Amino acid sequence: MQKSPPILCAWLESAADPERLVRGLTRFLIGPGVDGRQVYWRYYDPRVLALTLQLFSGEQTRALMGPVTQWRFPWNGHWWGVTGPGEEVDLLGGSQPAWPDASQWHSLAHCDVLDKVLRQLPESLAACTPPEILLYLRRGDSALMHARQVLKLTVPGELMGYALLCLRYGSAILDHPPLHGAWPALASGELSWNALLQRLGPDDYRQMDALCHLMSPTTGAAQ
């Protein structure tokens, strides 16, 4: 069994001929990244597409799908689908309506880390409902954005660790008394991630776990 999913794994429906379909699938592969430099955007990767569909507006999604009428892809134990217009969107004046904007690029930059976070959750996402999985996706993306932009974390392992704690404990980890003052110190570089974790012992995790379940007795930290 492969440890990583295939680059492209999807079931596409379209009335377009093969040449038109290929043109539609490849027209948004290369463009300006967040810093203006040309990048190759692997939107067709299920790990990237799942987050893209949560970030994109309806106009962006329709432009991305183009000649495709139905795009179905496997991700986290389920088949997911998005409907397309079945025709290419006219790119007036060089506009690229399917291309991520600057704020969306900030989220898409951590697709790989987010995918690893979701795979390390103690819950089996294959047993979760699609809305529950999408909730984990959105909360994980928000945690990673906060970790990078506010807490200034850059090491993948530390980003994953922070996101997993947020998904597991929610606001309980952020408001836990032993960590008061630790978050600003982490952001300023006065405290390392490992030093922050050393402030927590088994009793702290039990307290946060109990508070988390008290706040969401049926679904835990996913809500």
Q: What is the pTM of this model?
A: 0.86
Domain ranges of the chain: 11-99, 111-222
Beta strands in 64-128 (DSSP E): 70-75, 78-83
- Which pLDDT does position 219 carry in this prediction? 47
Higher per-residue confidence, 7 vs 209:
209
- Which pLDDT does position 216 carry in this prediction? 64
Q: Is the pLDDT of residue 1 over 50?
A: no
CA atoms within 13 A on the CB side of 34: 8
Higher per-residue confidence, 219 vs 58:
58
| pLDDT average, residue stretch 115-141 | 91
3-state helix, strand, coil in the chain (%, to 5): 55, 10, 35
| pLDDT average, residue stretch 59-76 | 94
Instruction: Quote the distance between the C-alpha of residue 132 and its chain's center.
Output: 14
Q: Is the pLDDT of residue 91 over 70?
A: no
Q: Is the pLDDT of residue 93 over 70?
A: no
Q: Is the pLDDT of residue 100 over 90?
A: yes
